[in-house]
Amino acid sequence: MAKEKEEKKSSYGADSITVLEGLEPVRKRPGMYIGTTGPDGLHHLITEIFDNSRDEAMGGHADHIEVALLPGNRIRVTDNGRGIPVGVHKVTKVSALETIMTTLHAGGKFGGEGYKVSGGLHGVGASVVNALSIYTKVVVHTDGGIHMQEYSQGKKKANVKQIGKTKLHGTIVTFEPDIEIFKEVSFDWNRVVPHMRQQAYLVRGLKIHVLDLRKFEGKIREDEVYYLSELNIDAPSQTFYFEGGLVSLVKFYNQSEKVLHKNIFYVQKGVEGVEDIEVALQYVDDISSRITGFANNISTPEGGTHVTGFRTALTRTINSYARANGMLKEKDDNFTGDDVLEGLTAVVSVKLREIQFEGQTKAKLGSTEAQGAVATVFGEAFAMFLEENPDDAKMIIGKAELALRARKAAKAAKDSVLRKGALEGMTLPGKLSDCQSRDASLSELFIVEGDSAGGTAKMGRDRKTQAVLPLRGKILNIERARLDKMLASEQIRNLVVALGTAIGDTFDISKLRYHKIIIATDADVDGAHIRTLILTLFYRYFRPLIEGGFIYIAQPPLYKVKKGKEFFYFYSDDEKNKFMAQQEGADIESTEDGTLDVENNEEAEEEEVTDTKGKKRASKISIQRYKGLGEMNAEELGETTMDATKRVLKQVTIEDAEEADKVIDILMGSEVAPRKSFIQSNAKTANIDI
């Protein structure tokens, strides 16, 4: 059984619960409360229930949370916190548990002393999850008794009742999302686990256990144990526990990097207006930076006031130290914000009682008091760190000096490129076959592999709206290349000028010349490599184009099948095989590799073929396997890959920027060991065309 945890004195009781309004709007407009009814919204349900348990841990009332994926699309979240109050609420006249689970904006996060800080969805999490679930059960261990209530679609099935006695304390919430609300109910283990790992880093000393029990129908006897891990079922599981907190998170981010200094900077302090400020940082041998922000343990990918305060203090402190120690002379320029960010890995976390976000998605912190508080706390502590660790300070200043010199060189190279592209349509790259339209919303740019495919694409395109830019071979891997070296590459220079947006600090998305940028490479290993190099360039230097939905990948067909006088195009082996399975009695001709050039198979032109006995039999089928775009003629390429009414395009999106950043760094960076490990770990899931 779970260990008993000593109760902490607290005023968290029925009177701590404040009621603001009813629950009815949730099922009518679920998107207003969870953002979407797609996969993101579905997984957000787990986050909301987990956040309530996590807030207990943040307040020092819990140290163990278990998240279990159960058979039947159910989720079970267990903590050893204080337990949801079950006493009668003085306003609603029913149990506080029922009030919390069935009333919107009812919780310990609205006034009172239930929580000093919290990260839930404005306190509506539990009731929203309940409203959007076909089944919910809450079991509470508190004050020596076990209390339970069940619900369906937000409505109670019966009153709260005591079902036993206990020496434990905490809350167990089990829910099953309603199929009427969500398009598909299927939880992704690979989405759940990273979020729980991140939360374990953010709450030092909290153990989070994640279990996947979905394949164990009939073997889960949850009423016999408190934590399901006590059942000792051999199931996929992960346990996270980090005493180091943010320092451990920085180490995790930098595990595949070459660090420039061993000592990781860390400060934790609370000031008036901000309950807690935590910052950890370390520099690595890289040209990109990673600043991760959190507010009340909610990730803020768009930054906000806390990150702004951190960046301001970082630039000021490094400049002050460098000048005071003779590393910057009076005649030298100050380091800019970009100079001191190069190679930086940092985590900035703040906790506030009254928190404000910009927008419903909570992607950016808007609380103004956080900016000055972070700047003061971090600035003072980091200045002391540099003084006390002169060797580390020397490495950090040296990194900034290298970035400053590179910035000046890059500016000269960039200015040269901008001058070349200054006269629109006059100095565009010679190999660019531009379109006639000057309306970016109607214009498309096809980036193709090689002159052969380029020539075919030029003939097969719609000249009014489609431009073609052929690239010669594999472009420079820009993952570790500075801007000046990058712009020395003619291939990249041509692409930058063709896009029209400029690059770096002068990037302007409003000047984008094409609203569809389509990468069209061969369906082989080299083509995939070229596509990866181009995507790396876009991710590192033109990320707003990906975020804006302007980048696409063309899907040319893999097969052309000719049956009599009919032609069929197939984009995968499965499509082709399914078609072939339906051709009973067909006379199929093929070479050793299973392909045939249609033009050399004259018999296939006949709808029917007569055998030696004069009987009619099915027409011959010939199969052509395309290895590259250059093998297609202009008509084929235009019809299958460029015609907007028939083609298949895949839009490039960033589902998880943090994970994308990590994978690109591993695959395209200079460190061999992490790349080898990644390839070995994922080899079984790779789809390789040999």
Give the tokens for residue 9: 């004195």
DSSP E strand boundaries for 89-169: 106-107, 133-142, 145-152, 155-156, 161-165
Torsion of CA 521, 523, 527, 529, to 10 degrees: 130
Interatomic CA distance for residues 642 and 652, integer angstroms: 17
- Of 176, 158, 227, give the one whose Cα is nearest residue 49: 176
176, 276, 358, 526: the catalytic one is: 526
Residue type, 17: I
176, 338, 358, 524: the catalytic one is: 524
Whole-angstrom CA distances from 514 to 81, 89, 517, 541, 549 are 55, 60, 6, 17, 12
Non-local (6+) Cβ contacts of 477 within 8 A are 533, 536, 668
**Residue 526 is among the residues annotated as catalytic for this protein:** yes
**Residue 369 is among the residues annotated as catalytic for this protein:** no
449, 479, 484, 636: the catalytic one is: 449
- Of 191, 145, 161, 221, give the one whose Cα is nearest residue 39: 191
Give the tokens for residue 571: 């984009």
Interatomic CA distance for residues 30 and 293, integer angstroms: 27
Q: Count other Cβ atoms within 10 Å, centred on residue 366.
A: 15
Q: Is 684 exposed, middle or buried (0-12, 13-18, 19+ CB in 10 A)?
A: exposed
**Residue 522 is among the residues annotated as catalytic for this protein:** yes
522, 636, 639, 665: the catalytic one is: 522
Give the tokens for residue 412: 């000269």
Q: Is 238 helix (H, G, I), strand (E, B) or coil?
A: strand
- Answer for the pair 369, 274: CB distance below 8 angstroms, yes or no: yes
Continuous H helices in 203-304: 246-253
Torsion of CA 630, 631, 633, 639, to 10 degrees: -90
- Of 601, 641, 600, give the one whose Cα is nearest residue 619: 601
- Of 55, 41, 175, give the one whose Cα is nearest residue 120: 55
- What letters, b where the CB count within 10 A reaches 16 and e where it falls short, cover 151-184? bebbebeeebeeeeebebbbbbbbbbbbeebbee
Instruction: Report, as residue numbers or ranges, the catalytic residues.
Output: 449, 522, 524, 526
